Amino acid sequence: MPEKEKLYVGEQSLRFSQGVYITSAASVVGKKEGEGPLGTCFDMVCEDDKFGEDNWEQAESTLQKEALSLALGKAKLQPEDIRYLFAGDLLGQSIATSFGLIDFEIPLFGLYGACSTAGESMSLAAMCIGAGYAKTVAALTSSHFASAEKQFRFPLEYANQRPVSATWTVTGSGAFILSSRRSRLRITGITTGKIVDMGVKDSMNMGAAMAPAAANLIAQHLEDFKRAPEDYDRIITGDLGYVGQEILFDLLKKKKIDISNVHEDCGILIYDKEKQGTGSGGSGCGCSAVTLASHYLPMLEKGELKRILFIPTGALLSTVSFNEGQSVPGIAHGVVIEQEEC
Amino acid sequence: MPEKEKLYVGEQSLRFSQGVYITSAASVVGKKEGEGPLGTCFDMVCEDDKFGEDNWEQAESTLQKEALSLALGKAKLQPEDIRYLFAGDLLGQSIATSFGLIDFEIPLFGLYGACSTAGESMSLAAMCIGAGYAKTVAALTSSHFASAEKQFRFPLEYANQRPVSATWTVTGSGAFILSSRRSRLRITGITTGKIVDMGVKDSMNMGAAMAPAAANLIAQHLEDFKRAPEDYDRIITGDLGYVGQEILFDLLKKKKIDISNVHEDCGILIYDKEKQGTGSGGSGCGCSAVTLASHYLPMLEKGELKRILFIPTGALLSTVSFNEGQSVPGIAHGVVIEQEEC
């Protein structure tokens, strides 16, 4: 099978010679995200951040349920048409995912990549379709401001202050149906990230912790595919925020790579920094997922963009690792999405 | 590509027509596991359960590091020969994995499947090799008694009592190098599990919580591959323990399936119940991984077994979901390993 050899690209990438397509995508967000610059783009904005549930974790599970249901509906598919789910969230033992996806009764690969999970889940889902292991699969992730604050920082009731470098966890879930059936959105390659630890120890500055992983991934991706930043209409990081973006540019300049003309960050796009008081920007698995689903994929479908590199970024910490004095390593996973001429 | 179609088997399974092989496996365990019935089989038994580290979480990271290093050594490979790692553990935000694997600098897919993670990681690793996405990858998981007690139950210093239905988290890590290069151990198929929730709410009886998922997986696997229990020399669950094993037999009898002649459970095998006071048996991601690596794979290599179905089982809970009154759903992932005639 000499054809197989072509799949390897460089050190960390795969090129999908067989068609891997995004059939549909859906985004569900909370009230604050609905009031932000992308407010009109989301499929569903819920005024009640508890989504009718008793607690924040169940609310996050409901986010996932709604997002997947919407994506299935758009693709005119039933749960039984989906062979695998690739999903994860930020909570300890991924409970938003476990309890959110029970009712679909679809074989599940549970993932943890912190806020890079949107990239990880799409990468594995694309690998699955590209290999012919399934005709249709789904990738989804979520985060919720209140469940994340409770998990990583302080319960909301404490009303604690936060530094300007802190990001604001997005309440949202993005779901993607991937298939071998041709559509206008094609996944043509992936670059899978390594853990990068630059010794950042400030859990209130996750942009700084994740920027080195994003910089390494972008440099390796361009080398693997032998491309320049200009070969992309956008290079989109997940949730580096304002602080992380600056560090990213600096790190890449040292490698003689300038992405400033094509770079955007979902964490910067999703909120209005001045009006919404969101510090360095949005974060969380949901941040990049809902921004891709609601903002970038429609632009690709319309032909306003031809090729993007989507790079969700994750900070690999827990309160235990933080309290034990460990650093905050980062990871990033890249997915190339192109407009397919139909 | 008509050949691709053959990969699908039934509702939840894949058959690997191209060769997927286990090149090497390694197991590292703590003192108590070293004193158990499999004590002489493990590659490394550490007398110090902190593995020379400052805390339990770092100790668990060191377990993973040692297991992967040993597996690489046995395969005569360097870290740079491994294209992807598929790894996870039980701790919130999978910190044992994140901090254990930094130094290898290998692209990582972080996973969370509770104690089913050994099956999930081997499944994804096998899919990756089967598709030709890599020549060599590694799958690994870990658990540590003390980090798990701290995470899920009570700090050890409380010296709290536990019911006999409770399992004992194995301190151990198992690592597996998978490759397209022929060896005596071949992975011929996988069956991927759905989340199964039977409403069990007792976190001290995880065998009962996971048995329904194992039963569903075994029934579906046999149907997908059109096989009977007798087609396997062993059907091996991860960590159902004595309590879960009985429930598994009962549930399968209702489906008119009797596996009692070929069933074994890693949680039952790894400790001497009477002498070691380990309740219902061993548990944790590490339990099934080290038992497979140290006990079953050598039996397959020697030809004492020809074909096994290995099914790590996971209980999808966190202290948050438990304290909020949620049930404990289960999940199980099956991997078929056969002796390859060389």
Domain assignment of residue B6, yes or no: no
- Per the DSSP assignment, residues forming a β-bridge with B142 are B173
Q: Look at A95 and B318 and tell me if their CB atoms are within 8 Å.
A: yes
Q: Look at B320 and A91 and tell me if their CB atoms are within 8 Å.
A: yes
Which residues of chain B register pLDDT less than 70?
A: 1-6
A154 pLDDT more than 60: yes
Q: Distance from B332 to chain A by nearest Cα, in Å?
A: 10
> Which residue of chain A comes nearest to B9, CA vs CA?
A133
A328 pLDDT more than 70: yes
Last residue of a domain, one of B128, B153, B179: B179
My answer on whether A198 and A329 are in the same domain is: yes
Beta strands in B2-135 (DSSP E): 8-9, 13-15, 21-29, 44-45, 84-88, 108-110
Query: How confident is the model at residue B174, as a pLDDT?
Result: 98
Query: How confident is the model at residue A164, as a pLDDT?
Result: 83
Residue A256: strand, helix, or coil: coil
Higher pLDDT, A159 or B292: B292
- pLDDT-derived band at A60 (thresholds 50, 70, 90) equals very high
Could you give the percent of chain A with pLDDT greater than 90? 88
Beta strands in chain A (DSSP E): 8-9, 13-15, 21-29, 44-45, 84-88, 108-110, 136-143, 168-169, 172-179, 185-191, 234-237, 263-265, 282-283, 307-311, 313-315, 330-332, 334-339
Q: Distance from B255 to chain A by nearest Cα, in Å?
A: 19
Last residue of a domain, one of A164, A179, A194: A179
CATH number at residue B192: 3.40.47.40
Residue A189 sits at φ, ψ, to 5 deg, of -175, 165
Structure tokens at B240: 């159902």
Query: How confident is the model at residue A3, as a pLDDT?
Result: 45
Q: What is the pLDDT of residues A202-261, one digit of tens each?
A: 888 889 999 999 999 999 999 999 999 999 999 999 999 999 999 999 999 999 999 999
Domain assignment of residue A15, yes or no: no
My answer on whether A324 and A225 are in the same domain is: yes
- pLDDT-derived band at A2 (thresholds 50, 70, 90) equals very low
Query: How confident is the model at residue B1, as a pLDDT?
Result: 39
Interface of A with B in 45-104 (CB under 8 A): 54-55, 57-58, 83-84, 88, 90-95, 98-99, 101-102
ipTM above 0.85, yes or no: yes
Q: What is the pLDDT of residues B178-213, one digit of tens each?
A: 999 999 999 999 999 999 999 988 888 889 999 999
- pLDDT-derived band at A330 (thresholds 50, 70, 90) equals very high
Query: How confident is the model at residue B4, as a pLDDT?
Result: 47
Structure tokens at A38: 């992308």
Q: Which residues from B are below 8 Å from A93, CB to CB?
A: 90, 92, 112, 114, 316-318, 321
Q: For the whole model, what pTM was predicted?
A: 0.97
A180, amino acid identity: S
My answer on whether B159 and B80 are in the same domain is: yes
Domain ranges, residue A62: 21-179
Q: What is the domain count for chain A?
A: 2
Mean pLDDT of A61-90: 98
Q: Any residues with CB less than 8 A from the CB of B70 and at least 6 apart, and which?
A: B26, B28, B43, B44, B175
- pLDDT-derived band at A1 (thresholds 50, 70, 90) equals very low
Q: Which residues from B are below 8 Å from A201, CB to CB?
A: none
My answer on whether A34 and A48 are in the same domain is: yes
Q: What is the pLDDT of residues A279-304, one digit of tens each?
A: 999 999 999 999 999 999 999 999 99
Query: How confident is the model at residue A222, as a pLDDT?
Result: 98
Q: Which of B263, B235, B195, B202 is nearest to B334 (CA)?
A: B235
Q: What is the DSSP string of A126-162?
A: HHHHHTTS-SEEEEEEEE-HHHHHHHHS--GGG----
> Which residue of chain A comes nearest to B321, CA vs CA?
A95
Domain assignment of residue A90, yes or no: yes
